[in-house]
Amino acid sequence: MSYRAIFLDIDGTIIKPDHTYDASTKEAIRQAKAAGIEVFLCTGRPLMDIVNLTNDFGITSSITYNGSYAMHENEMIFKAAMRKEDVERMISISCQGESELALYTTENNYFTSLKDAHVIYFSKVSQMKEFKLFTEDVADQIVAATAINVFDSKGDFSLIEGYQLSKVNIKHSTESYDLIRTSVNKGEAVKKMIAHLNLSPSEVIAFGDGMNDKEMLQFAGAGVAMGNADSMLVPYADFQTTTVEENGIFNGLKKLGVVN
């Protein structure tokens, strides 16, 4: 099979629990690019928080905010903001319980509290470089959201029409969930990107470890689940590679004949 594009999740796929990545991952990306294959980072992270990785790997194309924003060779291809009413509903639910929200525009990261201990911890383990206190004047610019410290209010968040909850796959003292639109996700973003590039799904490889990668792995010609992937994700992949700490990306691409 001749592949022309690879889409790589970041946390738990490229990045290990200690916030580093294997040299084998960088080598796999180098070999893929040398073979003329386009490499994309495809993540729930904000665009501004992946700059170090894009620089390290020499990658200029990405899908960020769980599919809400896409760039190809540093040119914006599409952007999908959330409805203001949906954002207001999330804030209302958050105010009724003990949860807080991380709300993202393409320019800034916002929290509904800057003093909450769970927010402080979340920003630290997520390696957020910059963030501000959320204000209503940016409610119509939000492209992605995460509910932090979710317990009793989980059911309320899940009742927002057109959204699904995907557990954030980071070490955390409480549970946090990305609030992902059913119509805007990594899979839909990959679909739009390859249409822009005039590629077919059979020419695409995708790697992931969390349930927010489900649609992406389903759509790709070769969907690869990491060895450390959520057990519920594995059935949606074509095969499972080794873990993020055991050269998972390199081994997966080697099995597909992309690297040697």
Q: How many CB atoms lie within 10 A of CB 221?
A: 18
Whole-prediction pTM: 0.86
The CA-atom distances, in angstroms, between 36 and each of 5, 31, 107, 128 are 9, 9, 31, 32
The CA-atom distances, in angstroms, between 72 and each of 66, 90, 217 are 16, 31, 20
Q: CA 253, CA 260: separation in Å to the nearest integer?
A: 8
Kindly list the structural domains of the chain, giving each domain's residue range(s) and its CATH number in brackets, ordered by start. 5-79+184-255 (3.40.50.1000), 84-181 (3.30.1240.10)
Taking only the tens of pLDDT, the chain with its 260 residues reads 699 999 999 999 999 998 899 999 999 999 999 999 999 999 999 998 899 999 999 999 999 999 999 999 999 999 999 999 999 999 999 998 889 999 999 999 999 999 999 999 888 888 787 899 999 999 999 999 999 988 755 668 988 999 989 888 766 556 889 999 989 999 999 999 999 999 999 999 999 999 999 999 999 999 999 999 999 999 999 999 999 999 999 999 999 999 99
Buried b / exposed e across 98-116, counting CB within 10 Å, b at 16+?
A: ebbbbbbbbeebbbbeeeb
Q: How many CB atoms lie within 10 A of CB 137?
A: 7
